[in-house]
Amino acid sequence: MRRTALLALAGLLLTSGGGGAVAQDGDQLGRDLSAILTAPGLRNAQAGLVVRDAASGEVVFSSGSASRAQPASNLKMLTTALALDALGPEHRWRTDVLTDGVRIGNTVRGNVYLRGTGDPTTSPKDYRDLAATLAASGIKVVTGALVIDDTAFDDQPYALGWAWDDEPYAYNAETSALTLSPDPEFSAGTILVRVKPGAAGQPVQVELDPPTSHVKVVNKATTGTGSINLDREHGTNVITVSGATTVPTADTVTVHDPSGLVADVFRSALRDKGVFIVGGTESRAVPAKAQPVASHDSMPLREMIRPLLKDSNNMLAEVLVKTAGRSWHGGRAALRPKLAGLGIDPATLYVEDGSGLSRMDQMSPDQLSSLLVAARTKPWFSDWYEAMPIAGVDGTLRSRMKGTKAEKNVHAKTGSMTGVTALSGYVTTADGRQLVFSMVFNNFIPTNLKSVEDRIAIRLANDVKGQSVATIQTVPDRPDERADVECSWIKAC
């Protein structure tokens, strides 16, 4: 068969979703990739892989890549790219403190308002700083209420298709326009639970950071050999601490109603600064007559995408969708017109959230690779590319592919759920060509397929076009490592 006919056949199979592997020049690379895809863990699973030239978009290899599947956290690449196009790299989220009524001396005869627009990175210190600015203005007494305005987002805390049993975990927190992150990882919508051992056999000490009455702790843990388990009762703010430990530990737990937590933390901060609010806490939109007193701006979007992509932060991703359109439905509708500019037909994918946590999300490796090719033409590409995890260096790839040609070379986004794993990104070959690749594996019996992903990326890094690779660098299997969640979510990277 003539070469032109082979190229035509490759294109036909790519667009029609043919299940067979296609390598345009029939070289050793295609044979090696096909061999890797015969890994026992992929037997009877859905496996899609596509490799393309980054500059031209030409398909180098494809196997099952047109079939849609759950992309897991690979969806964050699409969410951040759409947000950069729609909101702009310099977009920031503002948190405002305002007052209404009449001020007489150091007294405001009215209310104080705290309004959020979705900043998921606001820390307890940021709220203390806002309280300090209000106090510095000379206000000592507010005769009305503390009013919380979180109306920038709707009141649906979870996207469709999220698992109910993940509710206590930081990667599954409620999305709110007023929230806080108690740790450097920007675990929005959570509280930090610190556990300290006491005398042997005695109860441990439990502290909340930040301190709050919004959450109740039930302490069943003792000082002794073992591990600590943290759980939150569904729909409540009752956190149960159980198990045993002889060393101090700390971890985050989600809270129900993050805006309520913020209100309690901010009221305490005001009290510490000498500002007394006579009334209770209410929730509604800020009236037009209210006057600003203090504000806090987040980092720009171009900086926020670094912890979002490198650490696979779900809550940062969800904020991008709701910022675009207040709700997940509205945000998706607002972002949809940007898909064509990223090489994706809006009619050929299904997306329910921004993080990929939903089991309803459907996207193919072909679509992910089209995104990777199109992104290179965007003015924000450099920031986006550097925000990807880098093999052997940082993020969810910091411990992977070390000592190979992929180390410090592969920039790629991971994705992990039970029965789902994905890796998509960029690699430079041994002869200096940049390739994009996307692999999405679904419906496998729970096992660790990260080594299969690594072998594919490493093989691409070693490639010299038209030549065989004498020795294919490999990595050991890691069957005992947990791979049903992103390693950053459990601090295991």
Strand partners, 350: 362
76 assigned to active site = yes
Amino acid at 366: D
Among 286, 274, 462, 349, which Cα is nearest to 71's? 349
Q: What residues have CB less than 8 Å from 35, skipping those under 6 apart?
A: none
DSSP code per residue over 9-76: HHHHHHHHT-SS-EETT--HHHHHHHHHTT-GGGTTSEEEEEEEETTT--EEEEESTTS-B--GGGHH
Among 167, 168, 200, 173, which Cα is nearest to 186's? 173
The single residue of 312, 364, 416, 451 carrying the catalytic annotation is: 312
Strand partners, 95: 296
Angstrom distance (rounded) from CA 474 to CA 461: 12
Q: What residues have CB less than 8 Å from 112, skipping those under 6 apart?
A: 97, 98, 99, 134, 139, 142, 144, 145, 146, 147, 270, 277, 293
Residue with tokens 């601090």: 491
The single residue of 62, 76, 187, 424 carrying the catalytic annotation is: 76
16 assigned to active site = no
The single residue of 63, 65, 73, 438 carrying the catalytic annotation is: 73
Report helix, strand or coil for 95.
strand
312 assigned to active site = yes
| Residues marked as catalytic | 73, 76, 312
